[in-house]
Structure 1
Amino acid sequence: MSARGRRAVRAVLPRRPARLAAVTLVSGLVTAGTLAGATSAVAEEAPRSGGGATATIGGLKTYGDAVVHGADGDRQVSAGLFAMSVEGGGTLQTYCVDIDNPTQKGARYQETPWSGTSLGANAAAGRIHWILRNSYPQVNDLAALAAEAGVPGLTEQDAAAGTQVAIWRYSDGADVEALAPRAERLADYLERSARDTAEPQPSLSLDPPAVSGRPGERLGPVTVHTTADSVTVTPPAAATANGVTVVGTDGKPITSAADGSRIYFDVPGDATAGSASLTVQASTSVPVGRAFVSDSRSQTQILAGSSESTVSATATADWAEQGAIPALSARRNCAKGGLDITAANQGDEPFVFSLMGTEHSVAAGGRQTVLVPLQEDQAYDFTIKGPHGAGSRFEGVLDCATETAESKAVGGESVQTLSEPSPLTVGGGTDTTNLAETGGSGATPLIAGTAIGLVVIGGAVLLLLGRRKNPTTRH
C-alpha cells in the first residue's frame, strides 16, 4: 500500500486526544498530609491484585528499523518485540501500542482489560488482535508466514518489525513505514488483511473482587474466570484463625477451583465486624491480545506470546451484624475518562459516601457505580472507609490515550526530540532505557520527569469512620 493510501486509511481512525504532559493538581476532599497518614495505616496489608499476570519489562528482543512521518519531519525508531519477566515465573513477548511514549526499562506492568487502556476507545483494537494472532511470533513458521503474505525471504527481524509497524498504524493512527522492504511489505499485508477480533478473556480474574454480608452467612459468590485448567485457593492465615473459611457452592472448604467456579467466604455467626481476603493463583499461558499497563506511564504493551506463567487475583469480604455493609471495588473507564467506583451494600441501612464533593447513597441491598473523572496521565490515590472501619484504598494512573506526535508542546514550551539515548529510571532505580529502542525515540523528558517525580491526589477521598487497617488495590 502506498504512503498516500495508508494516510487515507488512517484518516478514518479515531484521533486520540494528546496526553497531558504536566499533571494537574486537583483540589480534593483531604490534604496530602492526611492522605499520607492513611497510606501508612494501610501499608502493612497485602495489596490486592486486579487479576492476571504481573511482569517487569526488559528491552527489545527482536526488532528492525522504521521511520515515522510527522508534521515536524521524519524520525527513525526501532520496531519489534519486547521481553517481559513474569512475577512468580514465566516470560512474555509484547508489542507496544503507544509509539510516541517511551518505554522505561524495569517498569512493572499489570494485565489489564482493554477498557482500562487506549484500546478501549479504539474501534480498531480488534484488528490489532487479529494481527497478533496471524503474525510473528504466533506464526513462528517464517516460510509459511512469508508464503501467506507474499513476502519471500522473511527473517525474524523483518517479521517483528513488520508486525509492530502494522500495529502502530491501527493503535496510534501513525504514518509509519518499516525500512526493510520485506518488513514493509509484511506490514502492508497485515494492515490490509486485519479483521475485527474479539477481546481475549483474562488469564485470571475474580468477579466481583469484593463482597459483603452478615456473620453466619456465606458471603459471595465470587466467580473465577481463568484460562488455566485449575487455580489454587489460599485464604489468609488471620482469617482462618478467626474461623472464616473459603467454601464452594456445596459449603465444603476448597483449596482449588476452575473456570466458572463460585467461591464463598463462610463467616461464623459470632464473628465481630471485620474483613478477610482470599488469593487464587495458577500457571497458564496468558492469552494473546491481553493489554499490559504500568503506573509509571511506561508505554502500554499488548501481548504477542506467553510461556507458562504465574497469574493471580484476590478478593475481599467485609461483614458486620447491622448497619451499612459496603463492598467497594474500582475499574478504569477509559471510554468515560475516569475511574468507576462500585459500591454494593448488603447491610440494613444506606451506605453514604462522598466523591469529588458529591454525596452518594447506596440503599440497603443496592449497588451503585460512580465515575471519578480524571485527567489523562493523572495519578490518583485515595481511601474510602466504611461505617465499621472497613475500607479500600485505590491508587494508580489514568493512562487512556496514546501520545501523538502533535502533543510535543507542553505548556506552550517545545519539548526536545532526542536522537541520542536518554536514561529514564523508575522509582529511583539505576536501570536505563535507550529511547531509540523503544518505539518512541521522540522522547519527552519533561513528561517522564513529571510522571515519575510527582504524586498527585485527584479527587482524594478519606471518610474517617473507623481505624481498622485497609487493604490496598491497584487499578
Structure 2
Amino acid sequence: MVSGLVAAGALTAAGPAAADATARSQGGATATMGSLKTYGTAVVHGAEGDQEVSAGLFEMAVDGGGTLQTYCVDLHNPTQKDAQYHETQWSGTSLAANKNAGRVLWILQHSYPQVNDLAALAKKAGVTGGLTEQDAAAGTQVAIWRYSDGADVDAVDPQAEGLADYLQKAARTVSEPAASLALDTSAVSGHPGERLGPVIVRTQESAVTVIPPLDAATTGVRVVDAAGKPVTTAADGSRLFFDVPEGAPDGTAELTLQASTTVPVGRAFTADSRSQTQILAGSSESTVSATATATWAARGPVPALSAAKDCTHHGLDVTAANRGDEDFAFSLMGTEYAVAAGQSRTVTIPLQEDQAYDFTIAAQRFTGVLDCRTRSAETETADLTTQTLADPSPATVGGTTTDTNLAETGGTSATPLIAGTAIALVVIGGAVLVLLGRRENAAGE
C-alpha cells in the first residue's frame, strides 16, 4: 500500500516495512552543485523592466570523483548550492516539450568550454577584440537561454553578445545524447530458483564493473549472464540476471554497475530539491553508476516497482510489474489499482509544477520534485525581485541594490499561489491517508 504522497517537500511517515527503502536510482552521474565559476553579466528584458543576472558556467562535484561543468536551462527557477543532482533523460525535464532542445545541444558542442580556442571561436563568430573565458561563458549561456527558456536576454559585454548572436543563428537540431551508464529497468521480480531479469546494460564504455549484492555470501544470490555464468564486468547490451537459489526465503537484493568515464555533453541534470535544471557542457573523468533491485517470493504477488518523471504528461510514471501468482493491489492518491499475475501496468500520477513527492509502495520509496517548466510565460509580467539563494548576486538594472540573481533565484509574484497550492496539496494528502486508514480499519473489523 502507498504510505503517502504530499507536496512542498513535506516528508510522509512511511510504514515499518518501508523504513530502509531508498529512492530509485536512474543511473549515470550524481553530483553536488557548487557555484558559478566562469561568468559574465546579462540582462533579461520583461514587461516590468530589465533585470541583470549572472550568466555562465556552474561547477559540480561528482560523487565518487570527477567534476562537471554545466549551463542552466531553467532561468526562472532557483539554484540551491549543495543540492544533489542526477543525470537524467530530457523527458524528465523542461527540454521534453521544447522543440529547440536539439539546438541547445548544438550550441554546447560548438562553443566554450568544448571549444577552448577562444581566438578561433571569436573569429568564427565574427567577434572583434577577442573573447575572454568570461565573455565566452556568458555568450554561450545567453544563447542557450534564448532557446531553453524563450527568454528575451542580451549579454552586457559586446563581445559576449556577439558570440550569443552567432550561436543563436548558427544552431541546428542535434539528437539527445545517450546516458553515460544506464539500465533498461531498475527493478525485476520472480520466484526463488529462477533467474530474475534480464537487466540490460547501456553504456559507452567497453567494460563496466558489476558489484554483486552486499549479502551475496549469505543469501547465495549471484549476478549471472543468460547462460548462468557469474559476471564481474559488463558491456553495452549485456543481459544480467539475479540467480536466486531454490528455497531462498522471500527477500530482495541489489546489484550496482560502476565505471569511470566522461559524461556526454548535453546530458540533463535535475535536483532532488527545487533547484534549476542544468545541462552538461563539460566533464572530467567521472564516476558513474546504475542500480537494479530484485524482489522474490515463493507465492503471492511479487511486484517490481519503478518510477520516472514524465514531463510530456506533467507527472510521475509509476510502473508495477507483477511476476507472482496472485494479483498485486495497491492504492495511489485514493485510487485503487490491481496488476494481474504476469502483467505490468504504468500509472501516471499528475503533479503540480515544483511539487515534491514522497511515497512508498510495497516497501519501495520514491522521492523527488517535478520541474517541467521554465516559467517564461508565467514570469513575463512578474516581479522578479527574489531572495538570493547563492552567490554571486549582481544588482538589478536601474540603480537598485537588491541582491538578486535571476539565474540563481526563482521566486516570483506567483510564489504565494505556489505556496498556497502546496499547502492545499498537503491537506489533500493528509485526507487521503486518513481515508486509507479508515478503509484499513473497516477491513480489519
For 1:393, the aligned partner's letter is R
Match of 1:65 in 2: 41
Equivalent residues in 2 for 1:78-89, closer than 5 Å: 78-89=54-65
Which of 86-95 and 155-164 deviates more? 155-164
- Does the 8 Å contact 1:66/1:176 carry over to 2? yes
Match of 2:72 in 1: 96
Equivalent residues in 2 for 1:234-383, closer than 5 Å: 234-383=211-360
Instruction: Give the one of 389, 398, 402 matched to 2:374.
Output: 402
User: For 1:187 and 1:91, how far apart are their aligned partners in 2?
Assistant: 25
- Does the 8 Å contact 2:23/2:365 carry over to 1? no
Q: State yes or no: 1:392 paired with 2:364.
A: yes
Partner SS for 1:138: coil
Which string of whole-angstrom CA distances, capped at 9 and with x for unpartnered residues, describes residues 55-102 of structure 1?
Answer: 111111111111111000111111111111101100000000111222
1:363 deviates by: 2.1
Partner SS for 2:306: strand
Match of 2:94 in 1: 118
For 2:150, the aligned partner's letter is G
Which string of whole-angstrom CA distances, capped at 9 and with x for unpartnered residues, describes residues 402-443 of structure 1?
Answer: 13374388xxxx75615xxx553xxxxxxx533448552665
- Does the 8 Å contact 1:100/1:404 carry over to 2? yes
- Does the 8 Å contact 1:70/1:405 carry over to 2? no
User: For 2:226 and 2:162, how far apart are their aligned partners in 1?
Assistant: 55
User: For 1:33 and 1:305, how far apart are their aligned partners in 2?
Assistant: 34
Percent identity, please. 64
Question: Are residues 41 and 320 of structure 1, via their aligned partners in 2, closer, same or farther at CA, if it must alter by over 3 Å?
Answer: closer
Question: Are residues 294 and 282 of structure 1, via their aligned partners in 2, closer, same or farther at CA, if it must alter by over 3 Å?
Answer: same
Q: State yes or no: 1:156 paired with 2:114.
A: no
For 2:367, the aligned partner's letter is E
Question: Are residues 287 and 176 of structure 1, via their aligned partners in 2, closer, same or farther at CA, if it must alter by over 3 Å?
Answer: same
Question: Are residues 43 and 408 of structure 1, via their aligned partners in 2, closer, same or farther at CA, if it must alter by over 3 Å?
Answer: farther
Partner SS for 1:36: coil
Match of 1:181 in 2: 158
Q: State yes or no: 1:211 paired with 2:188.
A: yes
**Unpaired segments of 5 or more residues in structure 1?**
1-26, 386-390, 425-431, 465-475
- Does the 8 Å contact 2:32/2:63 carry over to 1? yes
TM-score where L is the length of structure 2: 0.86
Match of 1:444 in 2: 411
User: For 2:107 and 2:427, how far apart are their aligned partners in 1?
Assistant: 38
Match of 1:388 in 2: none
1:37 deviates by: 4.2
Partner SS for 1:440: helix
For 2:153, the aligned partner's letter is V
- Does the 8 Å contact 1:67/1:74 carry over to 2? yes
**Unpaired segments of 5 or more residues in structure 2?**
395-403, 438-445
For 1:311, the aligned partner's letter is V
Question: Are residues 120 and 457 of structure 1, via their aligned partners in 2, closer, same or farther at CA, if it must alter by over 3 Å?
Answer: farther
Which of 374-383 and 229-238 deviates more? 229-238
Match of 2:397 in 1: none
The CA RMSD measured in Å over matched residues stands at 3.0
Which of 395-404 and 88-97 deviates more? 395-404
Count of residues paired in the alignment: 417
Match of 2:206 in 1: 229
User: For 2:377 and 2:408, how far apart are their aligned partners in 1?
Assistant: 11
Question: Are residues 144 and 60 of structure 1, via their aligned partners in 2, closer, same or farther at CA, if it must alter by over 3 Å?
Answer: same
Instruction: Give the one of 33, 53, 58 matched to 1:77.
Output: 53
TM-score where L is the length of structure 1: 0.81
1:148 deviates by: 2.1
Question: Are residues 139 and 33 of structure 1, via their aligned partners in 2, closer, same or farther at CA, if it must alter by over 3 Å?
Answer: closer
